[in-house]
Amino acid sequence: MKQLLSALLVAGVLTLGAPGAVAAPKPNILLIITDDLGWGDLGVLFQNQRAARHDRSLPAELTPNLDRLAASGVRLIDHYCAAPVCAPSRASLLLGLSQGHAHVRDNQFDKALDANHTLATVLRQAGYATVAVGKWGLPGGRQTDAEDTVATAPPGPPDWPAAPNRRGFTDYFGYLLHADGHEHYPKEAPYTAHQKSKTVWAGTTNLTPALDQCYTADLWTAWAKQWIVQHTKTQPGQPFFMYLAYDTPHAVQELPTQAYPAGGGLSGGLQWLGTPGHMITTASGTIDSWVHPDYRAATYDDDHNPATPEVAWPDVYKRYATAVRRLDDAVADLRSLLADLHLDQDTLVIFTSDNGPSIESYLPRQPLRADFFASFGPFDGIKRDCWEGGLRVPALAVWPGHLPAGRVVTTPSISYDWLRTFAAVAGLPAPAETDGISLLPALTGSGGEPASRYLYVEYFEGGRTPNYPQFSPGHRGRQRGQMQAVRSGDYVGVRYDIQTPADPFEIYHVTTDPQESVNLAASLPALQEQFQALSLQARRPNPSAPRPYDQELVPALPPGPWLPGVRWLAYTGDFPWVPDFATLTPVAAGTATRPGLDSLPPAPGAGLYFTGALQIPTAGDYTFYLETDGGAVLRLHDATVINADFDQPADPATRHGSIRLQAGLHPFRLYYARAQPPGQPGLKWYWSGPGLPKALIPPTAFRQRP
């Protein structure tokens, strides 16, 4: 690690704002993710403008503390979740992989998070203490899938194949199972059938019996605060990464026991007491009872007639607004703690949500509609939709002294960008097989939009878009089914209820038409072709989530000038994984007839990065093989075909992956890293395909750009 950091310093990529990384000392990272909080639920993004219309038929929420956070930091107003429901969205966030590559897709709740690089494993490599708090929902042991080692849930975290401690987190406190997060009083569980308690794990200990009257938003906040305090006392020189995953305002619309405690930080706000039956300062009073005073007597013009008396907000919306306000108070409490500990300027805080707003109340005879507050903002769609309202989520970042206050970022970004961003912040190159980009240049204002940037989402859900009058007529009651969304620049391509690979994308200019009401597809044939190609080039099929386009041939590049051979760049360093070499400075460069190790530097740790295109002679199924002594990653277009990186043995072995390709040229990126293994270095690339037995790929198949 010291050798790698020294190499990065020499290369000049540890300067704040550079694409690769930032200068030491490394900041703490607090990632706060809420559950089903809509883009439009935040005052600074939408509710304040809604209230400013002074239309009494438009009820509005308040988020004063999040508004202050936004004013002191950065708003990413074109930020997307990786999927419009929690399990795949959070899996992609944790892995830094799009839904074209993550193993958890669709509604695969409690499925094992991939055994791969995660936010936690990457930051642990950079010397961070790592802790997860709140909702997990990806433990494994609940699916009869090859990735899960058991068919039913084992008794405790040590036995779950993908518990947080097996995915890079040294400490954990919260709900492991997805359904537990539907209930916000784990012990009493008043709205759960038969009032069956949910399980809160403190490491491997079931702490639920001690959690009387503990509202989970308060519980996670209090425990998170005491963990930060204890870590600062015992390990003052070690940075921390905290993944604080709330389970509100999702699911049952329960209320806290009492007002948020006054003050905040070290001496005020929520505190962890650790006494069974009274574990936190709000573990008293009556469960599910306290409505925020701003909403207790709130009324609105329900019939759009100022001459008639206003009516009270329905109880379910008082509850929803109170839950959102509780999160708002919790964020302020946490920021006060960082200030009290003199950590505020040493901590990057990210606030976001896992998907668009829900319409689930879990309360008898109290349905929840997302249009009461227009929680979807100026967009159409909700949770489980691939319209903007289902995918666009709030994203705020604050790091005093490092990120400019009041900055607004309109460059499109997505949740799987955070792994590369945090790697850059921590001074490490991201793993090559991760998707996305580092957002550090956009956050600091030191860089522009990268070339050829696009965002990719796929999802299946059998329901329909709500029939809300605010939505465009073509979206109301729309059958979802198989869906895809691609954003490139100012345009979004969307496909709903996909039946065949040839189904066209609807195309919208979302910067001027955020509601996606005017389909421009007929006038943009070139963009239609681009979206059709990207919908295949950005992903790999997954047997557990079949798609109508899984068997389609991946399109080749259009004709253009190419030369024989490949380009290579050489690197030295003690690489902890196969890195994205684009953020590092090469020690040598050149061309070759095909990928090989003739140009590998003689340093103990070294790597090569090959780029070019592969001439596919005949359309059909191709299998590629890498025989390598080190780690390697192969991408065709943006699809990861071979990942021989994470937790791979050092001994030479053959890795393989299959993909269906059109005849023609297909761009590739081949990454190779050798982390001081014994023996002779080796890298050989084979193929097999229609009429081609397994053989080394000949030099005649490789092309490079002039």
What the block records as the tokens of 657 is: 């992956």
Burial class (CB in 10 A: 0-12, 13-18, 19+), 693: exposed
Which residues are CB-contacts of 137 (< 8 A; sequence separation ≥ 6)? 86, 87, 90, 109, 110, 175, 176, 177, 178, 181
Please, what are the domains in the chain? 2-444 (3.40.720.10), 454-537 (3.30.1120), 563-704 (2.60.120.1560)
**pLDDT score of 653:** 58
Question: Do residues 186 and 175 touch, judged by C-beta distance below 8 A?
Answer: yes
Which tokens go with 523?
């006038």
DSSP letters of 585-624? Answer: --SEEEEESS--STT--SSSEEEEEEEEEEEE-SSEEEEE
Residue 655, pLDDT score:
86
Instruction: State how far the Cα of 644 lies from the Cα of 432, in Å rounded to an integer.
Output: 11
Do 246 and 35 touch, CB atoms closer than 8 A? Answer: yes
Distance between CA atoms of 566 and 664, rounded to whole angstroms? 16
> Which residues, at least 6 apart from 168, have a Cβ–Cβ distance to it below 8 Å?
118, 119, 120, 121, 122, 123, 124, 130
How far is residue 645's CA from residue 631's CA, in Å, rounded to a whole number?
A: 5
List, for residues 399-454, the tens digit of each pLDDT value: 999 999 999 999 999 999 999 999 999 999 999 999 999 999 999 998 765 656 89
**How many alpha carbons fall within 13 Å on the CB side of residue 655?**
22
**Neighbouring residues of 537: CB distance < 8 A, sequence distance ≥ 6:** 554, 555, 636, 637, 638, 639
Q: Which two tokens stand for residue 407?
A: 């900055």
List Cα–Cα distances, 211 to 177, 225, 229, 275, 329, in angstroms: 17, 17, 21, 9, 21
Tokens for 405, please give them: 């206050």
What does the alpha-carbon distance between residue 630 and residue 675 come to, in Å, rounded to a whole number?
A: 7
pLDDT at 619: 98
- Is residue 60 within 8 Å of 47, Cβ to Cβ? yes
- Which DSSP helix (H) or strand (E) runs through 48? helix 48-52
Give the pLDDT score at 155. Answer: 56
Element (H, E) at 8: helix 2-11
In whole angstroms, give the CA distance from residue 129 to residue 27: 12
As given in the structure block, the two tokens for residue 598 are 């003739």
Per-residue model confidence (pLDDT) at position 15:
28
pLDDT for the residue numbered 265: 97
* Euclidean distance between CA atoms 12 and 700, whole angstroms: 38
Q: Is the bond leading into 559 cis (omega within 30 degrees of zero)? A: no
Residues in the chain where the model's pLDDT stays below 50: 1-23, 143-153, 650-651
pLDDT number for residue 549 = 98
Q: What is the pLDDT of residue 141?
A: 78
Tell me: the pLDDT tens digits for 145-197? 444 444 444 556 667 899 999 999 999 999 999 999 999 999 999 987 667 88
Task: Please state the pTM of the whole predicted model.
Answer: 0.94
Q: What ranges in 77-215 are assigned the alpha helix state H?
A: 86-95, 119-125
Name the CA radius of gyration of the chain, rounded: 26
DSSP-H helix ranges across 256-358: 293-296, 315-340
Strand partners, 566: 592
Q: Closest Cα partner for 151 from 207, 111, 99, 121?
A: 111
Apex CA 350: angle with CA 243 and CA 574, to 5°? 65
Q: From its phi and psi, is residue 520 left (phi > 0), alpha (psi between -120 and 50) or beta? A: alpha
- The total of other beta-carbon atoms located within 10 Å of residue 149's CB is 14
DSSP state of 431: B
Do 461 and 484 contact (CB within 8 A), yes or no?
no
Q: Give DSSP secondary structure letters for 298-319.
A: -EE-TTS-TTSPPEEPPHHHHH
Q: What is the Cα–Cα distance from 350 to 362, expressed in whole angstroms?
A: 29
How large is the angle between the packed helices 315-340 and 216-234, nearest 10 degrees? 10
> Which residue type does 643 have?
N
The 3-state DSSP class for residue 85 equals coil
- Nearest by Cα to 83 from 93, 73, 74: 93
